[in-house]
Structure 1
Amino acid sequence: MHMADALVAPAVATTMYAATSVTAAISVKKVKLENDKKIVPFMGVMSAFVFAAQMVNITIPGTGSSGHFCGGLLLAILVGPYAGFLAMISVLAVQCLLFADGGILALGANIWNMAFYSCFIGYLCIYRPLMKKSMSTGKILITSVLASVVSLQLGAFSVTLQTLISGVTSLSFGQFLLFMQPIHLAIGVLEGLITGAVIIFVFHARPELLHNSNAVNKIGLKQVLIILSTVVIFLGGGLSLLASENPDGLEWSIQNLTGSTDVEPESKYIDAMDNAAKIQEKTALLPDYSFKDSESKLGTSFSGVFGAIVVGAISLGCCVLLKTFKRKDDILE
């Protein structure tokens, strides 16, 4: 659901950047106040996991489309909604800047559509209340699917609303909505099944890893890093080579309306779009998750592992800084 710059007018892009920035500032404050010690290591390894998992597009049967794991709900369940939102920012920012996945102007909108709803609506309003009293395998799976579907439906609706407000004339709001909602319903079910499977595994193996869990099992940081690093390398460096080449839900919807997965920008916004594209050309070391001017699949594997390392390092570093500042504030008080 990574929107290109052509889908958002500069005014809409600015508004979404502002909304995302305010939410990020609140999240930073909340994470600083949390005393959950496992947030520091898991911010890094789980954001790396989500980046690698997003590399694997899965074909949606009978549609000609594909979907990929978003990960916001999973992060919220494991490290909390505020830390999860910040981790998703690192994932989406790295995808945009280093791999030219989604436009720079549209980054604020992409963060809102793919992170806000899953971390705060999906988790806080659906998953957490339903799981508050008891947890079981069946309940985890059903609730994960429900929360994921609602999150993806809200995200898909936001995309259509943002393009409508942006005045993208090639996309009729009603028709665009009729394509976006059903395909993201299917993707939401896929997202929920994957999220549920991971949470069920954690619930039975190491329940203390779940956010706000009172379980007493302990697991060493070294062991966690080894297990998750292996999974990240497998997903990003290996399984990503088998990713579906079908367009994702957003591209598929656009293609059904216009005959192409791309949308021409409105003429009055071309200068802004061109300037954003020039910046992205300079920052994108591995455009489209490949080596520049090369079709080697090695570029995809390298991108998956390298991107996961970068995302993990950024998330871990930011979390360590937040906890350091909190300790300094506590000392001053």
Structure 2
Amino acid sequence: MADALLSPAVGGTMLAVSAGVLAYAVRDVRRNFQESRIPLMGVTGAFVFAAQMVNFSIPGTGSSGHISGAVLLAALLGPSPAFIVMAGVLLIQALFFADGGLLAWGCNLFNMAFFGCFLAYPYLFRPIAGKTLSRPRILAASLVASIVSLELGAFAVTLETLLSGITELPFGMFVAVMMPIHLAIAVGEGLATGAVLLFVRSHLPEAEELRLEEKKLSVRRLSLVLGLAALVIGGGLSLLASGKPDGLEWSMERTAGSAELESSGAFHALFARLAEFFALLPDYAFPGSESPAGTVVAGIAGVVLCLLILVACGCLICRKRSCRGGVR
């Protein structure tokens, strides 16, 4: 979501709500997360950042979509670490690449991460995947969890926009276009999530949340594979991303006639100035240039930032746990 969709009251409320969930996740990680798995927080975040740069076309619609990554992260890390990673990825996107507004960060985090990490994963993915983790079960679990997660997130966008009341987006019409297009996107995300998890299951069964205990391999190898994949996707495959509007932009165009909405007011102006100040590569490109080199640099820079910042966050969380005498 962009800031222009939200009133300061709704944006501020969701910032507080997401901050509360984030505080819970930090406490949970401090108590339960294994320090040896901290590198995975960085590389999985970098992988999701890179994957989100690759929009795939939705046939017959003129729209495109990208994965959110919440269910995938929850399966690899657990719900609370996954939520922290999503918070970092979305903040890096908003700050340094002007992708999603700063006022809208709380909404984006809740919509894209809460439903996948704390609802779809524990209550749908885990029961469907079961203890055997067979190929059909993983694919079915990934599809169902991704569909429910994205559909809830899409509906939350329309509800937050309605409560804000600052845009000309009729609620009924907005819902009617948002839900079907995000259903199609969710199918794509579910298939991608299942494919990654099946790869991990077959070749890198270190992810404890998948309970793959046979053929144990080191976290280092899993981190290396995902880190290299992130660099390849962000610095190369991102050039192949679809240029069609994403699901939200496409829905706005069909509802209001334009995906570019103007914001007004002191709060919106303040957050706009902050975005301009921090954005190093707005829209994943060199300022004022459409050179493909800008996309490559943005992809690599984003991957490195996610890796460094999320590993640092994981170390800081676990360091505080150690200082307080927590159990390792």
Return the offset for 1:262: 1.3
Matched residues in 1 for 2:126 and 2:26: separation? 21
Please tell me whether the aligned partners of residues 232 and 308 of structure 1 are also in contact (alpha carbons under 8 angstroms): yes
Cα distance in 2 between the residues matched to 1:208 and 1:307: 25
Q: 1:209-255 CA deviation, whole Å, 9 max, x = no partner?
A: 14162604333344334322221111001110010000000000000
Counterpart position of 1:27: 25
Question: CA 1:257–1:102 in structure 2 vs 1: closer, same or farther (change >3 Å)?
Answer: same
**C-alpha separation in 2, matches of 1:21 and 1:104:** 13
Task: Point out where structure 2 has 5 or more consecutive residues left out of the alignment.
Answer: none
Tell me how far apart the structure 1 counterparts of residues 81 and 202 of structure 2 sit (CA, whole Å). 23
Q: Aligned ranges for residues 20-169 of structure 1 at < 5 Å?
A: 20-169=18-167
Which piece of structure 1 moves more, 135-144 or 204-213? 204-213
**Contact 1:96–1:103 (Cα < 8 Å) also in 2:** yes
1:246-261 equivalences in 2 (<5 Å): 246-261=244-259
Q: Distance in 2 between matches of 1:70 and 1:50?
A: 8
Aligned residue in 2 for 1:271: 266
Query: Take 1:324 and 1:65, find their aligned partners in 2: how far apart are those partners?
Result: 45
Runs of 4+ in structure 1 off by over 6 angstroms are none
Q: Secondary structure at the match of 1:69?
A: coil
Aligned-pair identity (%): 47
Q: How many residues align?
A: 328
Contact 1:170 1:263 in 2 (8 A): no
Cα offsets for 1:286-327 (capped at 9, x unmatched): 101011122211010110111011011111111111112222
Amino acid at match of 1:255: E
Which residue identity lines up with residue 292 of structure 2 in the other structure?
Answer: K
| Unaligned 5+ runs, structure 1 | none
Q: Is the 8 A contact 2:284 2:294 kept in 1?
A: yes
The answer for the alignment partner of 1:235 in structure 2 is 233
* RMSD of equivalent CA atoms: 1.7
Specify the SS of the correspondent of 1:263.
coil
Inter-partner Cα distance in structure 2 for 1:92 and 1:16: 14
SS in 2 for 1:211: helix
Shift of 1:36: 3.1
Q: 21-30 or 128-137, which moves further after superposition?
A: 128-137
Structure 1 length-normalised TM: 0.95
2:300 corresponds in structure 1 to: 305
Deviations 1:132-181 (A, max 9, x none): 43210011001100000000000000000000000034100000000000
Of 300, 320, 323, 2:318 maps to 323
One-letter amino acid of the counterpart of residue 32, structure 2: E
Match of 1:223 in 2: 221
**How much has 1:331 moved relative to structure 2?**
6.9
TM-score, structure 2 as length reference: 0.96
